[in-house]
Amino acid sequence: MPDAARPPRHVLILGGTTEARRLAAALAPEPAGAPEPAPAPECALRVTTSLAGRVAAPRLPAGEVRIGGFGGPEGLARWLREHAVDALIDATHPFADTISHNAALAAATAHVPLLAVRRPGWVPGPGDAWHQVTSLDEAAAALPALGTRIFLTTGRMGLSHFAHLTGLWFLVRSVDAPEPPHPPRMEVLLDRGPFTVEGERALLRAHRIDVLVTKDSGAAATAAKLTAAREAGVPVVVVRRPPVPDGVPVVEEPEAAAEWLRGLFSAAGSH
């Protein structure tokens, strides 16, 4: 039972992912219909999710929400102190590298325990023709040798890395419309997952795609394109993820993060 005398513990979730929404739904005082709620810690919780504000109409998580940058690691550390945050969960996208480093610095400065939630990456299977690269620039450099009709699913923010590829045609899928610079020959498909194998198959066929480019997001909601590419014999350029900052503990699932919080708060409560 929550201890009524103690102020609620404040958890800040750095979000923008399915995992962050699942965690918020499991932890927030009135869970908003999480499909498989994780066991929440037994003390009273105040849950705030932070979103960067990149998407015009974001899917909002349960609990409190704040939107917009903090102003670097110093700004985040200040926010942690001013809002009396007891635990910080970095549940951002595996490729949101800057905010993850900012979180590590800010948590250390403000003496707030930090945990990262990272879904597992994708693993190539039999029949996959993957070209693994470490950056969008490397992905762009690999393309001319692989094909001419490219399905680009790496997000609208990185399109400038492909802008010089004037000889290739791109199908660009993103949540919001991209802005220049971008490749001169492209069609934009505004959509967000989850996607089906059937739908991805139809897209590859309709646009005569001969190369797929993806980040190793590792999300089930967007994995169908890999199956469709394997079936069609389409090579896939996979951008590997940056590592989690040194010293930050990592779990793969929101349920494990809820368990970590439970351990943290019960250990702190026993002092």
Smallest separation (angstroms) from ligand NAP to the CB of 134 = 15
Which CB atom, from 150 or from 239, has the smaller least distance to ligand NAP? 239
Nearer to ligand NAP by C-beta: 95 or 210?
95
Q: What is the closest distance, in whole angstroms, from the C-beta atom of residue 48 to ligand NAP in the complex?
A: 10
Sequence-distant (≥ 6) Cβ neighbours of residue 18 within 8 angstroms: 219, 221
Side-by-side strand order, sheet with 250-251: 64-67, 45-51, 9-14, 87-90, 114-117, 250-251
Q: Which is nearer to ligand NAP, 71 or 263 (CB)?
A: 71
The site for ligand NAP (CB under 6 A) is made up of: 14-17, 50-52, 54, 69-72, 75-76, 92-93, 95-99, 102, 155, 157, 215
Nearer to ligand NAP by Cβ, of 15 and 183: the residue is 15
Least gap, CB of 69 to ligand NAP (angstroms):
2
Of 61, 106, 71, 64, the closest CA to residue 87 belongs to 106
Q: Evaluate whether 91 touches 26 at the Cβ level (below 8 Å).
A: no
Q: Report the nearest approach of ligand NAP to the CB of residue 205 (Å).
A: 26
Q: Minimum CB separation from ligand NAP for residue 155, in Å?
A: 5
Nearest residue to ligand NAP, scored by beta-carbon proximity = 69
Q: Which is nearer to ligand NAP, 60 or 157 (CB)?
A: 157
